[in-house]
């Protein structure tokens, strides 16, 4: 296991020195953020990130994310050019020691929450999701907290129209087409692809979501058997689906889990949740059992503490402040050490 920490590049308010000071930290998970989706990441931009990280004694072996262009998800004719660009980006990343790329295949929207600062009794705050509140919103005129409003209203509407004909099966076919197109680059460079689950793991605003459960994993691995076709096992995303048995999945799919995002949720009702500190005692997910599942499966991928709360007066990027994620990292590190040594 290698413990890592997400770093949003040079505009991140958290300096690399601080990340290096967190016990057990091997490297950062980062990305080139200002190349338009679909274009090739130039080598000099990757080199710059690599040098910054290595100058502070941190590795840069995981990229989150290389985003997938909507035309690929929609299966539009331009996809072949875009997939070739993606493969070139993989090859460029391979030259700088990258081993794992996290991406997602969610149509239009990435993660969705209704409140980014839900205040807890102890004064900390965190992200939360209320399904009824979300359903009252109009996706065609959406102003959601934290959602990257990178589309104009017109662009958003034409994109939503384009998805009208995209069923779950069609979206899955387009995912397989994409993976088959990039697998040669992965085999050449040794890079593992790690698809992030849909967050939360159910359809949103009539848009299909296909990476939600153990069944999705079975289907995905059967369609593209290469070991380079793997997953980001995100406990918070999968865990919102009450149907997912996370310790079981952690152990069953370890070989394909190239990257683990570990975080805690407090589940309410059938669909709602609030994000919590990482400890098992703080929420609904058995973090100990999940880590145990990974260790028993022989996990040797990357881990990062996922979303933390804002604590100690910090007003960090939602989910990505320093303090609570650092606490999460040391807690997770300790769990891994105890379980790994306990088993011997």
Which residues of this chain interact with ligand DNO, rule CB under 6 A? 64-65, 102-104, 110-111, 196, 261, 319
Q: Nearest to residue 216, comparing CAs of 243, 184, 187?
A: 243
User: What is the SS3 assignment for 208?
Assistant: coil
Selected catalytic residue, list 50, 71, 196, 253? 196
CB of 195 to ligand DNO, least distance (A): 8
Selected catalytic residue, list 199, 261, 272, 302? 261
Residue 186 annotated among the catalytic residues of the structure: no
CB of 104 to ligand DNO, least distance (A): 4
Q: Nearest to residue 261, comparing CAs of 199, 318, 169?
A: 199
Among residues 111 and 302, whose Cβ is nearest to ligand DNO? 111
Query: Using CA atoms, how far apart are residues 260 and 299, in angstroms rounded to an integer?
Result: 10
Question: Cβ distance 40 to 135 under 8 Å?
Answer: no
Selected catalytic residue, list 320, 324, 331, 333? 320
What beta strand segments (E) does 65-136 contain?
100-103, 115-119, 125-129
Among residues 13 and 337, whose Cβ is nearest to ligand DNO? 13
Selected catalytic residue, list 228, 258, 278, 307? 307
Residue 69 annotated among the catalytic residues of the structure: no
Distances (CA, A) of 188 to 8, 184, 214, 231, 254: 28, 6, 29, 19, 23
Tokens at 189, concatenated? 């460079």
Tokens at 286, concatenated? 């058995």
Among residues 5 and 103, whose Cβ is nearest to ligand DNO? 103
Residue 196 annotated among the catalytic residues of the structure: yes
Query: Using CA atoms, how far apart are residues 111 and 237, in angstroms rounded to an integer?
Result: 9
State in Å, rounded, how far the first CA of the chain is from the last one: 17
Residue 131 annotated among the catalytic residues of the structure: no
Selected catalytic residue, list 50, 234, 324, 331? 234
Among residues 64 and 70, whose Cβ is nearest to ligand DNO? 64
What is the strand order of the sheet 115-119 is part of? Answer: 115-119, 125-129, 272-276, 264-268
CB of 196 to ligand DNO, least distance (A): 4
Among residues 296 and 323, whose Cβ is nearest to ligand DNO? 323
Among residues 46 and 195, whose Cβ is nearest to ligand DNO? 195
- Spell out the residues 6+ positions from residue 298 whose beta carbon is closer than 8 angstroms to its own: 254, 255
CB of 277 to ligand DNO, least distance (A): 16
Question: Cβ distance 29 to 64 under 8 Å?
Answer: yes
CB of 193 to ligand DNO, least distance (A): 11
In sequence order, the β-bridge partners of residue 189 are none
CB of 111 to ligand DNO, least distance (A): 5
DSSP label of 141: G
Among residues 8 and 288, whose Cβ is nearest to ligand DNO? 8
Query: Using CA atoms, how far apart are residues 343 and 335, in angstroms rounded to an integer?
Result: 12
CB of 227 to ligand DNO, least distance (A): 20
In sequence order, the β-bridge partners of residue 229 are 193
Distances (CA, A) of 88 to 38, 91, 94: 11, 5, 10
Residue 198 annotated among the catalytic residues of the structure: no
Catalytic residue set: 196, 234, 261, 306-307, 320
């Amino acid at each position: 296991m290698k413990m890592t920490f997400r770093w949003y590049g040079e505009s991140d308010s958290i300096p690399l020195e601080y990340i290096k000071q967190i016990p057990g930290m091997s490297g950062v998970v980062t990305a080139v953020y200002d190349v338009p989706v679909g274009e090739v990441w130039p080598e000099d931009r990757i080199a710059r990130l690599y040098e910054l990280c290595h100058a502070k004694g941190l590795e840069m072996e995981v990229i989150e994310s290389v985003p997938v262009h909507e035309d690929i998800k929609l299966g539009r004719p331009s996809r072949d050019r875009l997939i070739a660009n993606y493969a070139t980006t993989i090859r460029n990343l391979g030259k700088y020691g990258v081993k794992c790329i996290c991406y997602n295949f969610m149509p239009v929207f990435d993660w969705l929450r209704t409140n980014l600062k839900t205040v807890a009794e102890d004064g900390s705050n965190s992200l939360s999701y209320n399904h009824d509140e979300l359903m009252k919103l109009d996706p065609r005129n959406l102003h959601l907290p934290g959602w990257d409003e990178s589309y104009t209203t017109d662009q958003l509407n034409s994109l939503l129209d384009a998805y009208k004909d995209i069923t779950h099966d069609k979206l899955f076919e387009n995912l397989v087409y994409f993976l088959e197109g990039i697998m040669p680059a992965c085999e050449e460079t040794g890079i593992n692809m790690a698809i992030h689950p849909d967050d939360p793991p159910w359809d949103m605003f009539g848009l299909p979501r296909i990476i939600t459960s153990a069944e999705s994993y079975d289907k995905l691995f059967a369609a593209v058997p290469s070991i380079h076709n793997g997953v980001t096992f995100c406990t918070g995303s999968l865990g919102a689906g009450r149907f997912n048995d996370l310790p079981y999945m952690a152990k069953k799919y370890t070989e394909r889990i190239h990257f683990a995002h570990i975080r805690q949720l407090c589940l309410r009702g059938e669909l709602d949740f609030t994000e919590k500190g990482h400890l098992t005692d703080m929420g609904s997910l058995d973090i100990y059992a999940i880590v145990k599942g990974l260790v028993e499966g022989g996990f040797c991928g990357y881990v990062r503490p996922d979303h933390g709360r804002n604590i100690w007066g910090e007003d960090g990027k939602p989910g990505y402040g320093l303090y609570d994620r650092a606490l999460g990292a040391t807690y997770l590190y300790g769990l891994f050490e105890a379980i790994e040594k306990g088993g011997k």
